[in-house]
């Protein structure tokens, strides 16, 4: 009877020991996972701020480029620049109708 008791005790102890081990192992894994994820999230805030800053800068650059594009495509400016480059103005153009493609030969 004492022997049976000792065996039973041994069996219970193993099961309990196993469960405890799993539990403690899981706890350590969870803690580790939590620490890693919190660390990762903490830096995200700084990354987000940095990206937001870059977005704001890009937005400003885009606005500036839009203004520059509008300036460059202004017909009055084009005319002024063409005069400075001594280009001839086209005054009385005649259009050729009915020809889609044509080839030049030497």
Partner 1 sequence: MFFSHKKLVRKQKKIHQDWRISFLFLCFFISFSCIIFRLYSLQITQGAFYTSLAHNQHTAQFSLTPKRGEVYLRNGGGDLFPLALNKAYPTLYVVPREIEDVEGTIQVLSDELKRDKDSLRSLFKDKNDPFEIVAKKVEREIIEKIKEKNLTGVYSMDEMLRYYPGEELASQIIGFVGNDGKSISGQYGIEASWNELLHGTTGSVRQERDAGGRWISITDRELLPAQDGQDLILTVDAGVQYEVERVLKNTIEKHRADSASAIVLEVGTGKILAMSSEPSFNPNNYSDVEDMSFFLNPALTHLYESGSVFKPITMAIALDAGKITPETTYVDTGIVREAGYEIMNSDEKSYGTQTMTQVLEESLNTGTIFAQRQVGNKTFKEYIERFGFGVKTGIELPSEASGNIKNLDHLGRNIHFYTASFGQGISMTLLQLAMSYDVIANGGVLMKPSIVDARIDSEGNTQSFSPEVLRRVLSDDASSKTREMLYNVVKNGHGKKADVAGYRVGGKTGTAQVASRDSRGYSENESIGTFAGLAPIDDPKFVVVVKVRNPKDVIWAESTAAPAFGEIMKFLLTYYKVEPTEEIVESTKKEDI
One residue of 71, 103, 104, 105 binding partner 1 per CB under 8 A: 71
Residue tagged 């300036």 (tokens): 71
Contact 79, 89 (CB under 8 A): yes
One residue of 46, 95, 102, 104 binding partner 1 per CB under 8 A: 95
Q: CA-CA distance, 98 to 49, in Å (whole number)?
A: 60
- Helices 2-73 and 75-84 cross at an angle (nearest 10°) of 60
Question: Among the candidate windows 17-25, 31-39, 43-51, 66-74, which touches partner 1 by CB under 8 A?
Answer: 66-74
Least distance in angstroms from the C-beta of 72 to partner 1: 9
* Site residues for partner 1 per CB under 8 A: 60, 63-64, 66-67, 70-71, 73-77, 93, 95, 97
């Amino acid at each position: 009877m004492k022997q049976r008791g000792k065996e039973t005790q041994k069996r219970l102890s193993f099961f309990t020991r196993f469960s405890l081990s799993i539990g403690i192992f899981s706890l350590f894994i969870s803690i580790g996972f939590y620490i890693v994820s919190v660390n990762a999230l903490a830096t995200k805030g700084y990354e987000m701020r940095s990206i937001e800053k870059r977005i704001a800068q890009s937005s400003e650059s885009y606005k500036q480029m839009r203004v520059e594009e509008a300036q460059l495509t202004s017909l009055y400016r084009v005319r002024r620049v063409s005069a400075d480059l001594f280009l001839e103005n086209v005054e009385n153009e005649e259009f050729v109708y009915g020809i889609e493609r044509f080839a030049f030969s030497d």
